[in-house]
Amino acid sequence: MNGIVVVGLFDAVDPAAAAARALRALPLPEGDVTTLSPMPLPDGAVCTDPRGIGFPRVTLVGWFVGALAGLSLALGTYLLYPLITGGKAIISVPPTLIITYEVAMLGALAGTVIAGFREMGLCRFRTRLIHDPRIQEGKILLCARVSGDEEAKRAMEAMKSAGGIDVRPEEGEL
Amino acid sequence: MEIKWAMAIDLDRCTGCGACVVACVAENNIPVVGEAEVEKGRLMQWIRVARYWEGEHPEAQAVYLPVPCMQCERAPCETVCPVYATYHNEDGLNAMVYNRCVGTRYCGNNCPYSVRVFNWFDHKWEKPLDEQLSPDLTTRSRGVMEKCTFCIQRIRRAKETAAAEGREIRDGEAVPACVQTCPPGALLFGNVADPHSEIARKLKDPRRFRLMEHLGTEPRVVYLKRLKGAGR
Amino acid sequence: MNGSDHLSRTDPGALYRELSRSNLPVTKKWWLGMGLLAILALWGIGCFVYMMKTGMGVTGLNRPVMWGSFITSFVFWIGLSHSGTLISAILRLTNATWRAPILRGAEALTAFTLMVGGLFPLIHIGRNWRFYYMIPYPNSRQLWPNLRSPLMWDAVAINTYLLGSLTFLYFGMIPDLAIARDHATGWRKKFYTVLALGFRGSHNEWRRYHVASTIFAILIIPVAVSVHSIVGWDFAMAKVPGWHSTIFAPYFVTGAIFSGIAAVVIVMATLRKVFRLERVLTVVQFENLGKLLCMMSLLWGYFYFSDFLTVWYNRNPEEWEVFRSYAGDFLPLFLVMILCNFVVSFPLLCMRRVRRSIPALSFVSLLVVIGMYAERFLIVVPSLARRNDPFIWHDYFPSWVEFSIMAGALALFLLLYTIFTKLFPIMAISDIQEHLFHTSDRKIGGVTVESIAMPHDTGKGGHG
């Protein structure tokens, strides 16, 4: 069941910021007010993002998982199946370090991709997402997630009085 | 008894005749690549007789150095092969697995003695020359490295015979083609781990040296220095 | 115009049209160009198949020079791939404000040069159809690759770097694909919709996007350094005189960055000309690239001199014979290298006039690219041609098959790059828009200067 989101187009940052202030005074929680913009706006210019960013931890986890995989490849397989060449030891430390390091970086990369994409909310193809292609003309779409018609009406009024164009309720997710 | 194959090359006796090279080519199914290819540097000889000149004309003297595969204890070719196509076997030989070779040629680059040769083309033996091929070993396809194996097929044959007769292999039973053929008897082959073998005795000679020893490859081929003096 | 209030200093629609000229529908000239490149690439592929069926003997390789133009090309192309990484990653991390217009082109350069470079290990092996022996896959014959071989380190490292670069390229493109999606119609709209993964530019998305971009940039730099160090170690691990040098790892990385920046200059100058991007790819970008190129030329010269000095001073016979050949049989190539990389390039690059002139800088970059190919060749071949045993010394010259494959590889790269520019946004539109948004004019006394805002993410931001 998709939620109701009130959206409004704004021409410039200042009116959008004023509208956002009014919305937060309604009151609406900070996490429910956000913008869609063609380029990133500084945090706090119009709205803020109270949720912490957690996926860098997965990068670290990915690094260690990759390191373990690399170690198993370079060290583990040789311990299991030893083969003598050139008078050198079965377990060679420098090549093991090299392979471990490379696969560790691959693991960190994979971790960042997977966790980062998830936390950004990409690849949600089956959800109906709020979007307006007119932001590419340089406009900001201010979005407010509301619960109920009463709140929706007050949000629409706040946006209209701050100078919003085409203020309307939409069904979808932020 | 432990087996450690080694070869002794007495440079006092070597005349540079090249019979060892011919014997090796005949024994090991080595193709004859032709003059054009030799010009391009694709000569396929598992043992080569390198010739160096000492002194200036007209006193210049030729020095001959037969160079087979050194079968190094710490072979630089073994560690760099990405697919383990070359390894060290229990007899202390550097063994080559033709089927595994993918032809990166890193081993050929890493051999300081440049004893490894590469099959640049497929080779055909036109009839009736194909009847001279030894059935004890393969002919190699294009893209595969090959090198002197101390005639491992002869070693294996001697070991099998000895095992069938229920005894140890005796000194002089396993003889590579080059050693067998050398007219002045400059080449000697045997098991240095056997204290009674001829080679163990020969290697007590104070003239002994190994090629490019400073590289740390620990070769199994020992040379005996040519002594100069009256009549030489 | 009040820059701090409006979202962009120019009309965004016009900006998009200007930056996305490469994505316009194909013309006859485009098909002609692609056709020529395709023919050249197919010729190269055909020569490769011929070589595979006949044997490596159709090349100029021999004993002892068992590695020649293919390995040279391999090192060269992998070296070129260090362009994008260094530009995007390092410039991103150091917050260089001039980087936005060259980001995408450089990242694409990295990805495609890596792909082409990664072909050469498959091309140069004797039994190419058995290449999978180098992959560690479970099999019933208890066979496993030898991970102590530097060639296997190559395989792992280049794999990691390729995946990393492609991720970097794709991830950097997501906001631009979203912009393209919003502007496109027809099959392109569907294409971009799928690729943009639903990116809409919400505040949450942007914040996390920045963090992820930074993390990728931090991750890709050590990978890039390690990759070319490992390529250098292919040589340094060998018992070949002239190869067995401890300086090879940093020397190769430096050479890679050097040739990479030169490649970026050439590619950017070409894009600027072809797609009329003069307003975006300005003299600022090229001058800064020129400064980087100047520094790298000096650094390369320093490393080369260091390598030469130790050998020259010691006169170790094995190594000295290799270096002596630079004054003998390899003199022409040596002169090309030293002139193109340092003697001609460095003084030119020191001149502000050269750095600020795009044709002059492109010419110097072309010299550098040629000089670096000569340098790679001089690393690989003389050491093998004049190695330990003088009896088997032999010269090497590439055959027509090798030249064809080299040309085919270049054609393949150009083909891939051209298709990329046609299908994908070649300019980092969102980065450029972001830069323009932060830039405003500020009046200080009697002059008006450009002022760039530098917002930083506080985590829990205050209210506007």
pLDDT above 60 (res C460) = no
**Where are chain C's structural domains?**
7-136+145-452
442-461 in C: which are within 8 Å (CB) of A? 453, 455, 457-461
B109 in contact with chain C, both atoms CB, cutoff 8 A: yes
Which residue of C55, C63, C144 is in closest CB contact with B142?
A: C55
d(CA C275, CA C279): 11
pLDDT above 80 (res C293) = yes
**Mutual angle of helices C103-124 and C400-423, in 10-degree steps:** 150
Model pLDDT, residue B90: 85
> 3-state DSSP call for residue C392?
helix
Lowest mean pLDDT among B1-5, B18-22, B118-122, C393-397: B1-5
Q: Which two tokens stand for residue C220?
A: 């890709």
Lowest mean pLDDT among A61-65, A140-144, C49-53: A140-144
Model pLDDT, residue C459: 46
Residue numbers in A near B81 (CB within 8 A): 85
Mean pLDDT within C33-59: 96
Residue numbers in C near A43 (CB within 8 A): 203, 207, 455, 457-459, 461
A65 in contact with chain C, both atoms CB, cutoff 8 A: no
Model pLDDT, residue B140: 93
> 3-state DSSP call for residue B48?
strand
> Nearest 5°: phi and psi at A144?
-135, 120
> Nearest 5°: phi and psi at A105?
-65, -35
Q: What is the pLDDT of residues B24-45, one digit of tens each?
A: 999 999 999 999 999 999 999 9
Cβ–Cβ < 8 Å for C174, A120: no
Q: Do B112 and C387 touch (CB under 8 A)?
A: yes
Mean pLDDT within C362-386: 96
Cα angle at C21 between C16 and C23, to 5 degrees?
100
Q: Do A85 and B78 touch (CB under 8 A)?
A: yes
From residue C360, give the alpha-carbon distance in Å to each of B187, C267, C278, C369. Answer: 66, 14, 16, 14
Model pLDDT, residue C5: 44
CATH second-level architecture of B5-224? 2-Layer Sandwich (3.30)
Q: Which chains touch C (3 or more CB pairs under 8 A)?
A: A, B
DSSP state of C213: H
Cβ–Cβ < 8 Å for B26, B132: yes
Q: What is the pLDDT of residues C168-200, one digit of tens each?
A: 999 999 999 999 999 888 899 999 999 999 898
DSSP state of C424: S
Model pLDDT, residue C2: 42
A20 in contact with chain C, both atoms CB, cutoff 8 A: yes
Q: Do C219 and A99 touch (CB under 8 A)?
A: no
Q: What is the pLDDT of residues C3-22, one digit of tens each?
A: 444 445 667 778 888 888 88
Q: Do C66 and B103 touch (CB under 8 A)?
A: no
Q: How far apart are the first and last CA of chain B?
A: 40
pTM over 0.80: yes
Determine the distance from the C-alpha atom of residue A41 to the mean position of all C-alpha atoms in its chain, rounded to a whole number. 15
Model pLDDT, residue A2: 63
Model pLDDT, residue C4: 43
Q: What is the pLDDT of residues A109-128, one digit of tens each?
A: 999 999 999 998 888 888 88
- Kindly state the percentage of chain B with pLDDT values over 90: 81
Q: Do B79 and A84 touch (CB under 8 A)?
A: no
What are the E-state strand segments in B113-195? Answer: 117-118, 145-146, 187-191
CATH second-level architecture of C7-136+145-452? Up-down Bundle (1.20)
Write the CB contacts of C357 (distance below 8 Å, at least 6 apart in sequence): none
Cβ–Cβ < 8 Å for C341, C335: no
Model pLDDT, residue B231: 54
Q: Do B50 and C387 touch (CB under 8 A)?
A: no
d(CA C90, CA C227): 16
Residue numbers in B near A85 (CB within 8 A): 75, 78-79, 81, 84, 86-88
C463 in contact with chain A, both atoms CB, cutoff 8 A: yes
Mean pLDDT within C194-214: 91
Lowest mean pLDDT among A51-55, B185-189, C43-47: A51-55
What are the E-state strand segments in B47-104? Answer: 48-54, 61-67, 86-88, 94-96
Residue B230 — left, alpha, or beta (φ > 0 → left; ψ -120 to 50 → alpha)?
Answer: beta
C345 in contact with chain A, both atoms CB, cutoff 8 A: no
**Full DSSP string of C9-67:** SS-HHHHHHHHTGGGSPP-HHHHHHHHHHHHHHHHHHHHHHHHHHH-GGGSS--SS---
**Residue type at B82 in one-letter notation:** P
Which residue of C199, C223, C463 is in closest CB contact with A105?
A: C223
Q: Do C63 and B118 touch (CB under 8 A)?
A: yes
Element (H, E) at B223: strand B221-224
Q: Which two tokens stand for residue C380?
A: 């690989």
Cβ–Cβ < 8 Å for C224, C161: yes
pLDDT above 60 (res B206) = yes
Mean pLDDT within C332-352: 95
What sign does the dihedral C154-C155-C157-C163 (CA atoms) show?
positive
Lowest mean pLDDT among A47-61, B177-191, C377-391: A47-61
Model pLDDT, residue B115: 95
Q: How far apart are the first and last CA of chain A?
A: 13
d(CA C263, CA B27): 54
Q: Do A84 and B88 touch (CB under 8 A)?
A: yes
pLDDT above 60 (res A86) = no
Q: Do C392 and B108 touch (CB under 8 A)?
A: no
pLDDT band at residue C463 under the 50/70/90 scheme: very low
Residue C443: other Cβ atoms inside 10 A: 9
Residue C218: other Cβ atoms inside 10 A: 15
Beta bridge partners of B188: B8
Which residue from B47, B37, B46 is spatially nearest to B122, judged by alpha carbons?
A: B37
163-222 in B: which are within 8 Å (CB) of C? 212, 215, 217
From residue C202, give the alpha-carbon distance in Å to each of A49, B14, C6. Answer: 10, 85, 18
User: Distance, in angstroms, between A108 CA and closest chain C CA?
Assistant: 8
What sign does the dihedral C134-C138-C139-C142 (CA atoms) show?
positive
Give which of B21, B105, B123, B210 to mutate to test C binding, by max C Cβ within 10 Å: B105
Beta bridge partners of C103: none
Q: Which long-range contacts (CB under 8 A, 24 or more apart) does B203-212 make?
A: B203/B6, B203/B8, B207/B12, B208/B8, B210/B70, B211/B65, B211/B67, B211/B70, B211/B113, B212/B112, B212/B113, B212/C388
